[in-house]
């Protein structure tokens, strides 16, 4: 790519190219600003700079999306090649020292994973890598493979069976399900019958459209519980547990999380008398970062802490 300016502008830097790459992926100023942790005015200013530099609008608004122009599509591969080369140079020549590194690792996690993984991980980092930071983020799971490929997300944690092309994975453990209710629930004991269980009111955690494997368990619970008894749906497991703590509602959660919530929130753990599928929890990363020293270190730490 010819990076010389024809307009008397100063040269672009890698930050400008990274912003261009994110805009290509997200096709939205709002989402791109969130990904890059920038304000929309700052992002718009950079886009204006890119437009001037390349003498092209690069992105035009079509309905609610920012669609790339032919010039932007022409630039896509050369820009990504430059970014990839810089990542390779950094990996090849920069050793990773956890005691001295101030690197930030971005993790795609649902709320159950945040509760389960972050406390022990942060305790380890405080002792062994005090300047390393982690950031739990949420993105459009339909683009998760692109986020992993671009390095915007270092790792995805939980169960994402649709992540395949160019993605590596390491199994952590096989998760089952349990339910929680408040300690003084008037009708349910620790091992209710199927009839007693389905006749209670339920808060269902909805994973539809997220690509998360919990959606299979959600469908089975919907089939077993009368629709009138599904009194609410929430997007987060922790929210369902909180509802159970303050009502007579039943919340069905991954067992590891249910055990933690029962302990921390003084809830009663109960057996789910509905046969639900197991989930194989795993750590996912993109093949292009497989040999990155920091990525390798973090993967090893994660396995040492959480593989069962």
CA atoms of 247 and 242, how far apart (whole Å): 9
Q: Which residue has the higher pLDDT, 118 or 63?
A: 118
What is the rounded average pLDDT of the residues 170-183?
94
Based on the domain organization, do 155 and 191 belong to the same domain?
Answer: no
pLDDT above 90 for 128: yes
Instruction: Select from 93, 113, 130 the last residue of a domain.
Output: 93
Tokens of 18: 């990274």
- pLDDT at residue 91, rounded to an integer: 58
Per-residue pLDDT of 277-298, as tens digits, reads 998 889 999 988 898 889 999 9
Strand partners, 158: 282
The domain that holds 166 is classified in CATH as 3.40.190.10
To the nearest whole percent, how much of the chain has pLDDT over 90? 57
CA atoms of 33 and 49, how far apart (whole Å): 16
The mean predicted confidence, pLDDT, of the chain is: 87
H or E segment to which residue 204 belongs: strand 202-205
Any domain includes 182: yes
* Dihedral sign (CA 283, 286, 291, 293): negative
CA atoms of 115 and 109, how far apart (whole Å): 10
Any domain includes 260: yes
Based on the domain organization, do 59 and 130 belong to the same domain?
Answer: no
Based on the domain organization, do 69 and 109 belong to the same domain?
Answer: no
Domain holding 67, by residue range, is 14-93
Cβ-contact 237, 111 below 8 angstroms: yes
Q: How confident is the model at residue 239 (pLDDT cuts 50, 70, 90)?
A: very high
Per-residue pLDDT of 48-105, as tens digits, reads 999 999 999 999 988 888 899 999 999 999 998 888 777 766 655 567 899 999 999 9
How many independent structural domains does the chain possess?
A: 3
Based on the domain organization, do 162 and 182 belong to the same domain?
Answer: no
* Dihedral sign (CA 213, 215, 217, 219): negative
Among 124-128, 129-133, 188-192, 235-239, where is mean pLDDT lowest?
235-239
Q: SS3 of 199, please?
A: coil
Q: How confident is the model at residue 147 (pLDDT cuts 50, 70, 90)?
A: confident
CA atoms of 226 and 158, how far apart (whole Å): 29
pTM comes to 0.70
What is the rounded average pLDDT of the residues 297-306?
93
Torsion of CA 177, 182, 186, 188, to 10 degrees: 10
Per-residue pLDDT of 3-50, as tens digits, reads 443 444 568 888 899 899 889 888 888 888 877 778 888 999 999 999
Helix axes 14-26, 70-93, angle to 10 degrees: 120
Sheet arrangement for strand 279-286 = 133-137, 104-108, 155-158, 279-286, 167-175
Q: β-strand 155-158 against 279-286: which pairing, if any?
A: antiparallel
The domain that holds 74 is classified in CATH as 1.10.10.10
Per-residue pLDDT of 200-237, as tens digits, reads 999 999 876 555 678 889 999 999 999 999 999 998 89
């Amino acid at each position: 790519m010819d990076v010389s300016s024809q307009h008397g502008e100063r040269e672009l830097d890698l930050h400008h190219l990274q912003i261009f790459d994110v805009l290509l992926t997200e096709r939205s100023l709002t989402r791109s600003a969130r990904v890059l942790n920038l304000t929309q005015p700052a992002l718009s200013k950079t886009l204006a700079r890119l437009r001037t530099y390349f003498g092209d609008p690069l992105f035009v608004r079509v309905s609610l999306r920012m669609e790339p122009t032919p010039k932007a599509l022409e630039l896509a591969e050369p820009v990504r090649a430059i970014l990839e080369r810089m990542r390779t140079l950094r990996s090849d020549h920069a050793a990773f020292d956890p005691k001295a590194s101030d690197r930030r690792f971005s993790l795609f996690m649902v709320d159950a994973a945040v509760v389960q993984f972050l406390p022990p991980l942060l305790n380890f980092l405080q002792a062994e890598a005090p300047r390393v930071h982690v950031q739990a983020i949420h993105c459009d799971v339909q683009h998760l493979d692109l986020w992993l490929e671009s390095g915007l997300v270092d790792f995805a944690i939980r169960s994402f069976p649709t992540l395949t092309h160019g993605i590596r994975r390491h199994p952590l453990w096989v998760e089952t399900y349990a339910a929680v209710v408040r300690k003084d629930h008037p009708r349910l004991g620790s091992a209710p019958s199927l009839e007693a269980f389905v006749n209670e009111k339920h808060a269902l955690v909805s994973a539809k459209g997220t690509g998360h494997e919990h959606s299979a368990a959600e469908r089975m619970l919907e089939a077993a519980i009368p629709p009138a008894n599904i009194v609410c749906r929430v997007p987060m497991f922790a929210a369902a547990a909180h509802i159970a703590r303050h009502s007579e509602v039943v919340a069905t959660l991954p067992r590891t999380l249910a055990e933690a919530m029962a302990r921390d929130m003084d809830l009663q753990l109960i057996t789910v008398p509905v046969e639900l599928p197991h989930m194989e929890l795993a750590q996912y990363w993109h093949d292009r970062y497989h040999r990155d020293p920091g990525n390798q270190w973090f993967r090893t730490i994660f396995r040492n802490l959480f593989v069962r």
